[in-house]
Structure 1
Amino acid sequence: MKIADHFQELWAPSFGAPRGSVRDYVTGSAYEDERGIVQYLLAGHDLFSVMGSSEDVLGSGETVMGGDSIYSDGEWVWRGDLWFYVRTHHVALPKDFLERIRGFDYVMPAEDLSSLMEIAKDIRARL
């Protein structure tokens, strides 16, 4: 399981060593294809749903409905608020994840139930 937004502010220590602080990945400009990236993130397969909202850890004062939920494309996982951090703060994503998104032409791959079940099982064990 690869975590696209594995930042110390967003994931519990039980998920392993984070990439660092989300603050370290804020860039000064949007991706040229940001709209497609955000579309892909919003289309993820739901692995773990959380009702409620999460506050922007970068201090904008905004909240994101379902931000603590977890999604996947069958290989990578991310929180439900990752699209917000990409769109609002232009947070840099891992190169391999961006290549995957672009390789699928921003369209979420078809659900592979067995892969998603294994990832969901791993997530539940760490929560």
Structure 2
Amino acid sequence: MRQVTPLGLFGSISGQSHFSRNAEEIKALSGHMPLHERPRVAEYLRAAPVIIALMGHTEDVVDQKFSVMGGSALHSDGTYYWRRDTAEYVETYGTRLPSAFMEHGARTDWHAPSLTDEEIMDIDDFFMSLRTQG
């Protein structure tokens, strides 16, 4: 089982109604990522493999500027995990992400790694263990 770290507020394994409770915290993180960094970071977030695909769509909890099909699906780069709609918050609002993640992404020049099927299954096992614990 491969443990991965939640990407701050965006590592929430929850439905949209629960995630929407973070609106004020997300709003407070807005505007902290420079414009020139947003596209590369957002592309990295989108390019990382989907570990758990979830149906439905999410809506922007800050100012209703976007919605995302499968927005609560979980992506991972093998170190961190996040919701699918994280990329839209980064692009739209310049939402600050944890500094350790930003350093991690910069070390890879913002190229999301490919994960093997075995690595994906190991991360999925980690998520399943969280579910049975909580």
TM range (shorter): 0.7 to 0.9
Deviations 1:55-102 (A, max 9, x none): 111132521111010000001001000000000111101111111111
1:58 corresponds in structure 2 to 62
Is 2:100 the partner of 1:96? yes
Counterpart code for 2:128 = R
Which structure has the highest helix share of the two? 2
Counterpart code for 1:78 = W
TM-score w.r.t. the length of structure 2 is: 0.76
Find the aligned partners of 2:86 and 2:51 in 1 and give their Cα distance: 15
| Structure 1: segments with no counterpart, 5+ residues | 13-17
Is 2:31 the partner of 1:27? yes
State the identity %: 25
Alignment partner of 1:48 out of 36, 49, 52: 52
Kindly indicate whether structure 1 or structure 2 has the higher relative contact order, using CA contacts under 8 Å at least 6 residues apart.
2
Find the aligned partners of 2:115 and 2:10 in 1 and give their Cα distance: 26
Question: Number of matched residues?
Answer: 120
Find the aligned partners of 2:71 and 2:109 in 1 and give their Cα distance: 25
Change (3 A) 1:88 1:97: same
| Structure 2: segments with no counterpart, 5+ residues | 15-21
